[in-house]
Chains A and B, each alone.
Chain A
């Protein structure tokens, strides 16, 4: 058995890293402050997929089969699927529909539902904390110009919920981080997250103006209800209405969450998004483990996480899907597929001006970010790389550098 899974594909570890494209990679071995040799490694599948048409479901199905299939994970289980619908449903990057830019495409969501159902999932919940509101998720989709009906019919027992609010639950349910935490020791979530057996994160392959990149792990940040963690959260108890973003409580820490929730471990830590957000992302993923990550990189935007993130933003078609059971490993390969070094630390792209949530997650033992330890199945990594920053020019997303 080779030391590193990539060697099964005839690549040395160095060759695998060299496959990260023409970026000048700085030696990663000097940046191992968070390195955890015990962090688990798990295979990641890459699939070449040029469109959201008929090739999508077979490609995704093949990728999941390459990972060992879904049945063991989801048969007879309730599955929570986190999608990424960041920002206002009426805001587009130019005239491009959101699903081709910054929203996970409904076809990917539908294919995932279909495959989960085929693998025996008993109930599938499509979930999102919809932008600054308590609207039913179906209505949020309609406002974005989608028809949610095909998704609700893509499998039996499919339901949707906006997890900003109580929804169908009677109270918020708590999950804590067994591995310890950086900022928040645990979170209170909408019931749909906590009483599901399996969590799937369907993310978009994107950069991010606060944490450098947003993939499967950062996607889970949106699971935190804004009634508790939003700018208009209740002071003592969760607000009954969902309003405002998460800038105060999460990004800059200028306001605590509702007192009913677990508070910050150390309120003296820096009140800056570049420090807090990478850590909170890890805390969320530690409290609410992700069992399957699917990254939609067929069509996406580069230069940020949404149309608001600056003049360098534009549409790109990397034409890939990425999937894996370990969120850190999957995001690490996603990072590499974007032409970045997942071993980068603060000050190095894509983490020019923020801490690396991959590094922090690895240090917390959630998974390895070392591409040399991650077996890539399907399309070779070197063939999947679409160098975001090279394609768009410029530095950190949103203009910070």
Chain B
């Protein structure tokens, strides 16, 4: 991609040069034409004067000397006046008709009496001549004035050059001004580039949009948008790291305290209990780390999900099987309502399985003993994978915060990582699916993954 400046210079400079050349050519042609007309008019005037003069002189001579044929040929030499381009060599021959040469300049080309009057071009002795022949009104005299075309051309060229000369000087000036104008016009862009280049990596404040020309403002707006998104992502990452460190503190504190209790305990029962707690704590910390890594791997900047057809029934069964043990321990009934006929959605089966598992785990955890958790799907609007429980539900003012990382309900004392729903939401986003969290009108809570559409069994 060529620089804007080069493009502008080439386009504007090229156009200027072209227009200039055409103008110069036209000026030359019209100057030539004008010069030719002028010189022709000069010829015409000369012939008229000559004819009048010749007729008058001839008449007088003849009346003085009778009707004798004694005319000597008068030859004459005209001096050149080189100062004026319009002063040209003029040679002429004057006849008294029918064929007597009255007067002839010595440099006149050898040419006979032309039958035709008017302008003509003649080649004689390797030179071209412009000839005007004219008869006087009585038809007794004919004048033929010849002018070498070389001189005429030189005159035309000189005139043309006098017009084109200033234009030739104007051209480099014009190009210079264009160059300066382009430079000046593009200066705000350079300033903008400089401002971006000077920034430190963490300087993510938006660029000043007021200072930029309207042409560049879409670019500035796009840049500012990008800067804002980068700032958001960075902020998110920083907060995430801080939150993660914070969240690891409690399990670490528990591990340390339990280990110290095990060391200090003076009876076997206390020691064994503490050691058991250390192991449980290690498991919990490991689970938290695993969830953190999972969330980090679900980073949307890492690229799109590999989509595969996923059988809903298998996913539901897998989630229920994974949580059957916990449900049994808690005395919660876990059941499944697979859709008929079988339904498939496009997605990453492992991710969808993780999401479903998290939803079922939440439901089982927050449902009191004797409660009931159902897992199922329906295809009324897209594909809804839902998990319903008949637990206490969630306070209305907490619904929006449920998917925040490390958010735990106000009323909840739970051992979860606080990341489950954040992971589910991220997975939903990556699949273009929705996560619907709501209390059920009949009591309890429903969490649903809503995929925009199902795919047919045999694609």
Q: Do A and B come from one complex?
A: no
A residues contacting B by CB (< 8 A) are: none
B residues contacting A by CB (< 8 A) are: none
